Structure 1
Amino acid sequence: MSDWGPVFVSVVLFILLTPGLLIQIPGKSKMVEFGNFQTSGVSILVHSIIYFALVCIFLLAIGIHMYTGS
């Protein structure tokens, strides 16, 4: 059996936390901007830290597992 939990969680969080796609923290003119399709170095750093924290919580603390196959 293959454990697809880590792959699924990582891909979904990567899509949701891509800076500028849905949300950008910090934004160019405001603290939080939505859907501006722009990014900065600080925004990439903040989103990377949030991504790392959420991946650790979901995979290590909660332990999400998804098994496929027989």
Structure 2
Amino acid sequence: MADWAPIVIGLVLFVIFSPGVLFQLPGKGKVVEFCNLQTSGVSVFVHSLFFFGFMVIFLIAIQVHIGSG
């Protein structure tokens, strides 16, 4: 039985936390910018920390599992 939770949660979090797609933290002119499709090294680092933190919360702390079959 395969566990699809890491794949599905990782895909959703990747789309949500891609810098510049939905939001960028820190932005180039403001603290938070929305849908600007630009990025910087600092925002990539901040968004990767968010991604890692939420993956840990969902997969280890809450232990979300999506089974097939």
Corresponding residue number in structure 2 for 1:68: 68
The count of residues paired between Structure 1 and Structure 2 equals 69
How many Å separate the matches in 2 of 1:52 and 1:20?
A: 18
> 4+ residue stretches of structure 1 with deviation over 6 A?
none
Query: Higher strand proportion, which one?
Result: 1
Give, as a single letter, the amino acid of the residue that structure 2 aligns with 1:18: S
How many Å separate the matches in 2 of 1:24 and 1:30?
A: 9
Q: Does 1:45 align with 2:49?
A: no
How many Å separate the matches in 2 of 1:54 and 1:10?
A: 9
TM-score, with structure 2 as normaliser: 0.97
Corresponding residue number in structure 1 for 2:15: 15
How many Å separate the matches in 2 of 1:4 and 1:60?
A: 14
Q: Which runs of 5+ in 1 are unaligned?
A: none
How many Å separate the matches in 1 of 2:6 and 2:63?
A: 9
How large is the RMSD of aligned CA atoms in angstroms?
Answer: 0.5
TM-score, with structure 1 as normaliser: 0.96
Give, as a single letter, the amino acid of the residue that structure 2 aligns with 1:64: V
